[in-house]
Structure 1
Amino acid sequence: MSRPAISPPGNRAAGFTLLEVLAVMVVLGMMVVALSAFNRPGTGALELKAAAIETASRLRDLRSDAIARGKDRVAIIDVNARGVAFSDGRAPVAINRAIAVDVTAAESERRSPTASGIRFFPNGSSTGATIKLSSERQAYEVRVNWLTGRVSTRVLN
């Protein structure tokens, strides 16, 4: 007894097999991944912006703490250690090695040739400072106004 063929020879329906469709999907997926690597912003730019925002935010918190507790609070920026430490015991801010750090602060708050402080007073004022964080293409400036203690951030280029 012979079995009939599922489809008679020469009468095959035109179309793609599952294997062909999967192969095309894999190739398209690899192309999307490869192209997306070229279109996203560099992680250096994202880390730079995050470092500027984090530093400014933590300085604002330190100022608020000085006002609330009625005690001086100090942030110490160490260019060599790549970080910002806080006198109230908060965790320090670490700055990536790819980011250049430049600090201009009051001479009275200079701790060493590579470390400077920013002091916040209970009345809200501060000793003032400017922290410049930069990479090869972009730079941010975190400014602390000496009179008001206001902390601001701006893009430089």
Structure 2
Amino acid sequence: TDERPMDTSLEKMAKLAPAFKKEGGTVTAGNASGINDGAAAVVVMAADKAKELGLKPLARIKGYAAGGVDPAYMGLGPIPATRKLLGNLGLTIKDIDLIELNEAFAVQAIACLRELGIGLDKCNLNGSGISIGHPVGCTGARITYSLAVQLQKRDLNLGLATLCIGGGQGMAILLERV
């Protein structure tokens, strides 16, 4: 490919300088998502309209929520958004079969995984922003579509997709395989 995945090694990445905080910083070009070219579109419609048009949906939206944190903690917005969503639906993270968590930075993704109690065995199984890129303005559609497809391929039922958004905002959506 022309942008991702990177041709690198752990040794090369260990030598990279921090990008934002020069002393003790953890974010480098090697553990941050690349800003890539990309475009995506999804079609969302009522189930009866899909049936009328002879279309077979991949998934059904069970719910969605937004949340936020202090902007100084940008990247952690998916935590309150996910908690709100699951609370609204009477679910826990253990009820979720598959998760697509947007990766802006490795440290941000790890913090979200730890705070939400998400295991690596069901999150970003095909890679995400760091490994395959982060086309700004496209990521929400890309990870939601990827989640819907993977629910089908893996014969799983419930999937969660999350986004961190600048300024401390976060979004979460729960899909159910159709």
Q: Which structure has the bigger radius of gyration?
A: 1
The TM-score, its normalising length taken from structure 2, stands at 0.25
**Higher RCO by CA contacts (8 Å cutoff, separation 6 or greater):** 2
